Amino acid sequence: MARAPDRIRVRRVPELGRYDRPAIESILDRGLVAHVAFVDRGEPVCIPLLHARVGEKLYVHGSTASRAMRTLAAGEPACVTVTLVHGLVLARSAFEHSANYESVVVFGRFEQVSDEAERLTAFRLFTEKLLPGRWDEVRPPLAKELKATTILALPIEEASAKIRSGPPEDDETEDAELEIWAGELPFVTSYGEPVPSPGLRAGIPVPASVRALLEPAETGSA
Amino acid sequence: MARAPDRIRVRRVPELGRYDRPAIESILDRGLVAHVAFVDRGEPVCIPLLHARVGEKLYVHGSTASRAMRTLAAGEPACVTVTLVHGLVLARSAFEHSANYESVVVFGRFEQVSDEAERLTAFRLFTEKLLPGRWDEVRPPLAKELKATTILALPIEEASAKIRSGPPEDDETEDAELEIWAGELPFVTSYGEPVPSPGLRAGIPVPASVRALLEPAETGSA
């Protein structure tokens, strides 16, 4: 593996570090929320934002009136972290307890997206990221809605992934002799029953986009 | 409600802001991972860490060799964000699509925990946060393990919560006349089957701590 640039090198547990683009993109694409950090008057601020990736850019959006959006739009340095937690790692020792997870950290500076076609594309991406197929079901953004929205793009250039998976670390130690259960407890995330909006007009069925998400669970297949 | 200090006031959508301690503590306690941001050579860094709260302190831990731990232990300004995502908010318009979530942001400076009794208590808290009841099942930390671990505490003083719940915003607009389904799609998180460590000694049953988590799902009750 090529040596990663200094800032993104995973120092503590180097064997967990991944710098290849497929790993990075896969984690970004499966993560709904990004934690976006920036510096405001010398102090760190970290906020959760929905995001969407296309190609080598990571998009976020927010109100044009948002202070965070204005700071990020000014091209201040940012750090975007996306974390997926997959389960608990239960060791014999308290010390080796952990979680299985995947995370990506991207460093860079956001750029404001001003091209109208790219802005509309980003809106489509945000909608499709939340729920694939949804864009074709909904009313597209109006000019005034686009105008009220700041869309920012971060080039995914300085990025690294960190992945912890598998059993606890103490299988090969004398702790393995202890009369203590050790293993993994996976998290399982699924969707509940759709809740119609109180103001939903009568006779409008659950749409194809939602049914497509729920069907695998309903039929019991993957 | 008292006016919140300027930095923690939720500016964009003030009605989402919550400053009361029970709301803040509840979100921190239900969130497994904290995103911890700090400033390193003028630029923001944001990393995911396991955390645990007790009283008015939020604890994190890591290797004494970790650069992030050293920076935070030096008392540099930090921002800790914990986010829970509960589901998708599906509106008639692309613009009103969102997610239901709860988040807490805490600003402050970590202090290194050096008192041995408090350090051991923090270890217990980390273990119990991952899995209630686990501390009494496992081997407690050895002196060398405690020595290899930096434990940091952040006073929860400057903090705010932000909560978005309920249906999409467009029930009261002309969009509600459209032939488009709108509502919420909740996420459901549960536990999968425990996976014994490959090196687990034969005859060690799944422990009470894990069974207690799984039982509600197994009996179908809440």
- By Cβ distance, the residue of B99, B103, B171 closest to A197 is B171
**What's this model's pTM, rounded to 2 decimal places?**
0.91
Output the pLDDT for position B167: 97
Cβ–Cβ below 8 Å for B139 and A175: yes
- A117-169 pLDDT, tens digit per residue, is 999 999 999 999 999 999 999 999 999 999 999 999 999 999 999 999 999 99
How distant, in Å, are the alpha carbons of A70, A123, A152, A194, B91 from that of A139? 27, 12, 22, 20, 9
Q: Which of B66, B63, B200 is nearest to B144 (CA)?
A: B63
Indicate the pLDDT class of residue A221, thresholds 50, 70 and 90: very low
Backbone conformation region of residue B220, classed left if phi is above 0, alpha if psi is from -120 to 50, else beta? left
- By Cβ distance, the residue of A48, A135, A193 closest to B103 is A48
- B135-147 pLDDT, tens digit per residue, is 999 999 999 999 9
ipTM: 0.91
Output the pLDDT for position B222: 40
Output the pLDDT for position A220: 45
Cβ–Cβ below 8 Å for A35 and B35: yes
- A62 close to A150: Cβ distance less than 8 angstroms: yes
* Residue whose token pair is 């006073």: B155
- By percentage, how much of chain A surpasses pLDDT 70? 89
Q: CB contact, 8 Å: A50 with chain B?
A: yes
Q: Report, as ranges of residue numbers, the positions in chain B whose pLDDT lies below 70.
A: 1-18, 216-222
- B55-90 pLDDT, tens digit per residue, is 999 999 999 999 999 999 999 999 999 999 999 999
- By percentage, how much of chain A surpasses pLDDT 90? 86
- B30 close to B74: Cβ distance less than 8 angstroms: no
Indicate the pLDDT class of residue A81, thresholds 50, 70 and 90: very high
Best B27, B30, B95, B105 member to test A by mutation, with max A CBs in 10 Å, is B95
Output the pLDDT for position B76: 96
Tokens matching residue A162: 């960190």
Cβ–Cβ below 8 Å for A167 and B38: no
Chain B residues close to A193, C-beta within 8 Å: 186
Cβ–Cβ below 8 Å for B97 and A189: no
Cα Rg of chain B (Å, integer):
21
Backbone conformation region of residue A85, classed left if phi is above 0, alpha if psi is from -120 to 50, else beta? beta
Output the pLDDT for position A215: 84
Cα Rg of chain A (Å, integer):
21
Output the pLDDT for position B12: 52
Output the pLDDT for position A6: 55
Chain A residues close to B107, C-beta within 8 Å: 43
The nearest alpha carbon in chain B to A63 belongs to B12
Q: Where are the domains of chain A?
A: 6-170+180-191+201-219
Output the pLDDT for position A3: 44
Whether A36 shows a pLDDT value over 90: the answer reads yes
Q: CB contact, 8 Å: B16 with chain A?
A: no
Chain A residues close to B126, C-beta within 8 Å: 94, 97
Cβ–Cβ below 8 Å for B37 and A48: no
Output the pLDDT for position A1: 36
Specify the CATH class of B6-169+180-185+204-219 in words: mainly beta
Residues 6+ apart with CB under 8 A from A82: A27, A28, A31, A33, A34, A35, A51, A103, A104
The nearest alpha carbon in chain B to A72 belongs to B44
The nearest alpha carbon in chain B to A213 belongs to B185
The CA angle B155-B156-B157, to the nearest 5 degrees, is 95
Cβ–Cβ below 8 Å for A138 and B168: no
Name the CATH architecture for the domain at A6-170+180-191+201-219: Roll (2.30)
Output the pLDDT for position A12: 52
Whether A177 shows a pLDDT value over 90: the answer reads yes
